[in-house]
Every structure is written in structure tokens, then in C-alpha cells.
Chains A and B, each alone.
Chain A
């Protein structure tokens, strides 16, 4: 398993950077900058600027999100911050507050 997983009871205060998929079930504060997909699972809390290929949010994100490919806000997700991505998907039930920049 080459992925990085932040478990549900884990709190990371700082910066996560890398070149592989990142899955967050716990809490991350600070900054996330990876070249692969970022998944914020249900119950997870992210208080950080997020940068990734495809960013999928099912939990809670507070911070600016930049996705090179796609940003997906799933149902029951909650996001506060600016979103920047060429493609953005917001599911029914998602909560979002912030600016959207799709580079148009």
C-alpha cells in the first residue's frame, strides 16, 4: 500500500507534502500539498490549505482548496474557503461557503 492514510484518531499539526494519494479520516491542521488525489473522508476535519490532483471532500474542510483536475464536494460535506479547480462537483446536501475560481 503506497498510499498515505491519516487515521480517525490522528491529529496532524503541520504540513503534509508528497507524491502519492492521501486519505484523511482524522484531523489535519496546517497545509496539504500533494501531487495526487486527496480524500477527506466522512468525520474528518481539515483546517488547512489543500492542494491536489483531485480533491474529494466528504468531511469538513476549512481552507482554500486547489485541485488541478477536479474538486468534488460530496453529500454531507462541509467546506468553508475558496475553491480553485477546472471542474467542480457539488453534490446535493453539501455545504459550501467561499469563492469559486474555475479559470474561465
Chain B
């Protein structure tokens, strides 16, 4: 265990920079920088005030600082995190407190990597993708819709313009009962108030 994992114990504080190529578990306190090629675990009760650059990050304690995790970030229920997160995968449990910006980069690549498993919890992951998905489709979809409208939707309106447009254009509640009674004379019988409104247009 000692060979594979570095532990900063509950009663220990490190001020400075930690670099390495193995897992690090912080139960105590670290101030400064953490740069690992492996995973960092910030346990419950631990306080890390540092910029973090790791492969994977799991937080149950308190973390203040900017994070870059090349693989994933997991914030458990007891986590308290302030700082920007950059990682292709983010998991956040209910109860986790977080303030900062999230950048998930190429989400599709991350999804492909996780394909088959529902590991990416929708809490923030889905919200993030949804937000990103919205702006893109309209740009592509809008022009075709505009082009399609005149031929399909506009046409029917012109087919029956006189009756339908006047009826709906004037006063919907009062007009319908009036027209059927005067039936037969169609367009000519339009009441003066209706004509005036049409003229104004």
C-alpha cells in the first residue's frame, strides 16, 4: 500500500507543491499545488487549498482551487468545492456544494469512452450537454424552416383569405354568432366596424 499510495494524514499539513505519478489521498490539509499523473482523493474532513492537475479527482472534503482532471471529477455528497473544473467527465452527488465554472471540453469523446455505462450522472453532465446542444441546432435548422414555410403553411392561408382572415382579424367573440344568421350574402354583409378595421390595415 505504501508503495502505491501516498497519504497526507489527518493531523498533517503540507504547504507547497506535491508532484508525482501515483495516487494521493489527502485526509489532512494541503496548501499549494498538486500535480499527479494518477488520482487524487480528498477525504471527508480534509482541506485542500490548491490548484489541482490530476487524472481523476474524487472529493468528499473541502477543495478550494482550480481543477484540471484529464479523466473525471467526482464530487460526493459531503464535498465542498470552490473553483473552476475542467474535465471530460463530471459526477456530482446530491448534497455536494460547488461554486465555479465547469468546462467538460469534448463531451462526445467522453461519452464514447464511457459508452454502455450510465456512469455519467445526469445531475450536471446532462444539464451541461443540454445547454451546449441548444445553441447549435437552431443555426442549422432555422434556414430550412423559413424556406419551407411559404410553400406549405402560407399557401393554405391565401386559399381562404376573405372569410377566415376577416373573421379572426376583427372580433372573434362577437362575430361568429352574427355571421351564420346573415348567411347567404357572404362577403358583402360584413358589418361596418369590420370593414373599418380592415381598411386601417
Partners in one complex: yes
A residues at B contact (CB < 8 Å): 1-23, 25-26, 30, 34
Chain B interface residue count, Cβ-Cβ cutoff 8 angstroms: 26
Chain B 103-119 per-residue mask, 1 if CB under 8 angstroms from chain A, else 0 = 00000000000000000
Which residue in B1, B7, B16, B21 is a CB contact (below 8 Å) of A30?
B16
Q: How far is the CB of B7 from chain A (nearest CB, A)?
A: 5
Contact B7 A4 (CB under 8 A): yes
In the complex, A19 Cα to B16 Cα: how many Å?
A: 18
Q: How far is the CB of A55 from chain B (nearest CB, A)?
A: 16
Q: Does B71 contact A (CB under 8 A)?
A: no
Residues of A within 8 A of B17 (CB): 11-14
* 5 more CB-based (< 8 A) A-B contacts, given A2-B10, A14-B14, A14-B18: A3-B9, A9-B21, A12-B18, A18-B28, A25-B2
Give the residue among B8, B9, B32 with the most A Cβ atoms within 10 A: B9
In the complex, A9 Cα to B8 Cα: how many Å?
A: 15
In the complex, A18 Cα to B9 Cα: how many Å?
A: 8
Q: Does B198 contact A (CB under 8 A)?
A: no
Residues of A within 8 A of B20 (CB): 7, 9-11, 26
Q: How far is the CB of B15 from chain A (nearest CB, A)?
A: 4
- In the complex, 9 of the A-B residue pairs with CB atoms within 8 angstroms, ordered by the A residue number, are A5-B2, A7-B4, A9-B21, A11-B17, A13-B18, A15-B16, A18-B12, A18-B28, A20-B11
Contact B10 A14 (CB under 8 A): no
Contact B3 A25 (CB under 8 A): yes
In the complex, A97 Cα to B193 Cα: how many Å?
A: 111
